[in-house]
C-alpha cells in the first residue's frame, strides 16, 4: 500500500578499493549472505538491499536512518566532509521510489554535478 514517507538519515559510502561495481555487489551479497541466483548480484542487491543500501553513479552507499515517519514531499541532501551524504526526504512512495527520492534530492542540491 502506498503512503507518504518522511525519512531523515545519512548515506555512508562503502569503500571497495579496486573492485568494480559487480565485484562490490558480489562482496556485499556474500558478506550479507544473500541468496544469489545465476550469479545475478544486481538482482540480489535489489531484492535484499532495498532501503539498506543504494547505488548512485556506480558507488554503493549504506543507508542510516535517523528518523522515518509519514508526511508530504520534500527533498534535501548535503555532502559531508567525510564523503557521506546526509538526507531529509518526504515523498509519496506510490509516486516515486526511495532511490528516485534520493536522486532527486542530490540533483536539487547539486551533489555529484
- Which grid cell sits at 74? 520534500
Mean of pLDDT values over 28-39: 93
pLDDT category, 103, cuts 50, 70, 90? confident
The percent of residues in the chain predicted with pLDDT above 90, rounded, is 34
pLDDT of 108 > 60? The answer is: yes
pLDDT in tens, 42-74: 999 999 998 899 998 888 999 887 665 544 567
> What cell does 61 get?
552507499
Torsional class of 31: left (φ above 0), alpha (ψ -120 to 50), beta (otherwise): alpha
Amino acid at each position: 500500500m502506498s503512503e507518504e514517507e518522511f525519512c531523515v538519515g545519512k548515506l555512508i559510502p562503502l569503500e571497495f578499493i579496486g573492485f568494480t561495481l559487480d565485484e562490490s555487489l558480489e562482496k556485499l551479497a556474500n558478506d550479507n549472505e544473500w541468496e544469489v541466483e545465476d550469479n545475478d548480484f544486481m538482482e540480489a542487491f535489489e531484492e535484499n538491499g532495498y532501503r539498506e543500501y543504494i547505488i548512485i553513479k556506480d558507488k554503493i552507499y549504506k543507508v542510516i536512518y535517523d528518523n522515518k515517519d509519514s508526511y508530504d514531499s520534500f527533498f534535501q541532501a548535503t555532502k559531508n566532509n567525510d564523503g557521506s551524504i546526509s538526507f531529509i526526504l518526504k515523498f509519496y512512495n506510490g509516486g516515486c521510489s526511495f532511490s528516485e527520492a534520493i536522486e532527486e534530492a542530490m540533483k536539487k542540491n547539486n551533489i555529484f554535478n
